[in-house]
Amino acid sequence: MLEELSVAEARHAENVGREVVLQGWVRTRRDSKAGFSFLELNDGSSFGNIQVVADGKLENYESQIKHLSAGCSVTVAGLLKQSPGKGQATELHASRVTVHGTADVETYPLQKKRHSFEFLRTLAHLRPRTNTFGAVARVRNCVCNSIHQFFQEEGFLYIHTPVITASDCEGAGQMFRVTTLDLANPPKRGPQVDFARDFFDRPTFLTVSGQLEAEIFACSLGKAYTFGPTFRAENSNTARHLAEFWMVEPEMAFCDLDGDMDLAERFLKRIFRDVLEKCPEDMQFFNQRIDKTVIETLRRIIDSRFVRLSYTEAVEIFRASDEKFEFPVDWGADLQAEHERYLTERHFKCPVILFDYPRAIKPFYMYVNDDGRTVRAMDVLVPKVGEIIGGSQREDRLDVLRERMLEQDLDPDDYWWYLDLRRYGTVPHSGFGLGLERTVQFITGMANIRDVIPFPRTPGNAEF
Ligand code: ATP
Ligand code: MN
């Protein structure tokens, strides 16, 4: 009986002796002088390939097998044997090789072994066939699985917050507008475009965060999380920003900032542990070829406690240091990447949770501390990547929240439903947002965020 196995399964010694069928893409072909060929086959199920031994007596050996090259797709039936070769437990002795698609050696772009990541970005439709992008895809998948498992085990409800929104939670300049108006001839009200005549009878945008809606569910059902794409039209061409990225946002009722930081720390450690356990081969690759410190870094983090430091204490540290910062660090200023990196890479050499930021640099919904000048915000900073989590305890006092909206030139009437949550059965509650791509970047050591999402959206780039 022929069994269909994945390459990952077929590579296990325990399957030696089985008659199996494998399907995938050829990575390389080598011919032996003794009249047979070796094919390296990969099907995406694992980093490693399986070696297929194709005998010269196979009926299509001369016509097809001998011409197989990188990128060709095949189905191979045969017997799994113990491999005499080093670094592989098994090999497949083919009894039949069916060729589905060839890949012209002259034109197939992945012929060469190594391409720059930059070049591969122009081949988003083929780059998943490379070692690196296969490994990134598996690690990303593992992280997503881990995210859901963690929150399910912790009793959170998975909810879906809208992609199209009328509320602007961080400032309209950074949002993509959603409209069906005829841009060449929009309806006008005076000199202004009349968005009251747009599809939703009001201006609408792609969401920058599901937080406000997640708060609705936390303030009704206790613990909830949303996980989906978010959009920011910030024109920042950095290695850590995308115009479309994925964010997971838990929100908890009856939880203060300390509880929020505890959750964030537990959550990250869980993700790191899962990746090390479930993707050892992929992580080995990243550790060898991308960044020699990633495995050690993750292991150390799992066993350590994150440093927790107030913004004010951080400013003291910058002041006392000999470091020449490009931007000065006066109390009240927003921190730059250089400051974050100084803390995580040089001063503490580990993840740092910064909390209690100046109220003037943080959004209206963050809880105002008794000192009146800081809010209960927290950012989780990690070496190299910088901020991967941003969160806060939410302002749950109606009067303070209204005051904060006015302070930031927001019209409380636009947020009547958000204020209702403070009007009826208000509770202390907290939450945060973790950027999925920054997490994958940190885990894998990949330098550019565009290489950890299948189809990066950045200024000027949306072809694939
Ligand atoms: P930054 O200051 O790094 O631009 P932010 O403070 O604007 O980030 P938040 O609004 O706090 O980000 O969003 C929560 C998390 O979402 C961040 O900690 C980060 O992991 C992720 N994130 C934010 N903006 C982006 C982006 N443009 N591309 C990818 N991930 C992002
Ligand atoms: Mn932030």
pLDDT tens digits along 278-318: 999 999 999 999 999 999 999 999 999 999 999 999 999 99
Task: Estimate to the nearest angstrom the gap between the alpha carbon of 197 and the chain centroid.
Answer: 37
Name the average pLDDT for the chain.
95
State whether the beta carbon of 245 lies less than 6 angstroms from ligand 1: yes
DSSP string, 136-186: HHHHHHHHHHHHHHHHHHTTPEEE---SEES--SS-GGG--EE--S-TTS-
Distance from residue 302's CA to the centre of ligand 1 (Å): 23
For ligand 1, pick from 208, 245, 361, 450 the residue to mutate: most ligand atoms within 8 Å of CB: 245
Phi, psi of 191 (to 5 degrees): -80, -10
Instruction: Tell me which H or E stretch contains 26.
Output: strand 19-31
Task: Estimate to the nearest angstrom the gap between the alpha carbon of 89 and the chain centroid.
Answer: 33
State whether the beta carbon of 433 lies less than 6 angstroms from ligand 1: yes
State whether the beta carbon of 232 lies less than 6 angstroms from ligand 1: yes
Which of ligand 1's atoms lies nearest the C-alpha of 386? 3
State whether the beta carbon of 429 lies less than 6 angstroms from ligand 1: no
Distance from residue 426's CA to the centre of ligand 2 (Å): 25
Mean pLDDT along residues 374-401: 97
For ligand 1, pick from 241, 352, 379 the residue to mutate: most ligand atoms within 8 Å of CB: 241
171 pLDDT more than 60: no
372 pLDDT more than 70: yes
Which domains does the chain carry?
Answer: 3-101 (2.40.50.140), 128-172+208-451 (3.30.930.10)
Three-state SS string across 41-106, please?
EECCCCCCCEEEEEECCCCCCCCCHHHCCCCCEEEEEEEEEECCCCCCCEEEEEEEEEEEECCCCC
Ramachandran sector of residue 201 (left: φ over 0; alpha: ψ -120 to 50; beta: rest): left
Closest Cα to atom 21, ligand 1: which residue? 435
- C-alpha distances out from residue 184 to 168, 196, 204, 343, 438, Å: 25, 17, 19, 50, 38
Residues 205/194, Cβ–Cβ less than 8 Å: no
Closest Cα to atom 23, ligand 1: which residue? 435
State whether the beta carbon of 365 lies less than 6 angstroms from ligand 1: no
Dist CA 161 CA 152 (whole Å): 17
Q: Which of 84-98, 108-122, 129-143, 293-307 has the lowest mean pLDDT?
A: 108-122
172 pLDDT more than 50: no
Distance from residue 388's CA to the centre of ligand 1 (Å): 7
406 pLDDT more than 50: yes
State whether the beta carbon of 335 lies less than 6 angstroms from ligand 1: no
Mean pLDDT along residues 376-403: 97
Residues 398/440, Cβ–Cβ less than 8 Å: no
What residues sit around ligand 2, an ion, with C-beta below 5 angstroms? 390
167 pLDDT more than 90: no
What single-letter DSSP state applies at residue 458? B
pTM: 0.96
Closest CA to 289 of 434, 131, 84, 78: 131
Q: Find the angle CA(108)-CA(112)-CA(114) to the nearest 5 degrees.
A: 130
Closest Cα to atom 7, ligand 1: which residue? 390
Tokens of residue 207, six digits? 């969401």
Distance from residue 387's CA to the centre of ligand 2 (Å): 7
Residue 191, burial from CB neighbour count under 10 angstroms (0-12, 13-18, 19+): exposed
Instruction: Tell me which H or E stretch contains 422.
Output: helix 416-423
169 pLDDT more than 80: no
Mean pLDDT along residues 136-152: 98
Residues 307/351, Cβ–Cβ less than 8 Å: yes
Q: Are strands 19-31 and 36-42 parallel, antiparallel or unpaired?
A: antiparallel
Q: Which residues contact residue 188 at a Cβ distance below 8 angstroms, ignoring those fewer than 6 apart?
A: 194
Phi, psi of 218 (to 5 degrees): -65, -35
Q: Which residues contact residue 276 at a Cβ distance below 8 angstroms, ignoring those fewer than 6 apart?
A: 283, 295, 298, 299, 302
State whether the beta carbon of 247 lies less than 6 angstroms from ligand 1: yes
Distance from residue 168's CA to the centre of ligand 2 (Å): 16
State whether the beta carbon of 154 lies less than 6 angstroms from ligand 1: no
* Cβ-based neighbour number of residue 7 at 10 Å: 21
Check the CA dihedral 110-111-113-118 and report its sign: negative
Mean pLDDT along residues 405-410: 93
Ligand lying closest to the C-alpha of residue 247: 1
Q: E strands within 241-332?
A: 244-253, 307-310
Q: 255: helix, coil or strand?
A: coil
Dist CA 442 CA 436 (whole Å): 10
> Tens digits of per-residue pLDDT, 24-38?
999 999 999 999 999
State whether the beta carbon of 391 lies less than 6 angstroms from ligand 1: no
Closest Cα to atom 12, ligand 1: which residue? 390
Ligand lying closest to the C-alpha of residue 431: 1
Residues 255/428, Cβ–Cβ less than 8 Å: yes
Distance from residue 452's CA to the centre of ligand 2 (Å): 20
Q: Which residues contact residue 64 at a Cβ distance below 8 angstroms, ignoring those fewer than 6 apart?
A: 97, 99
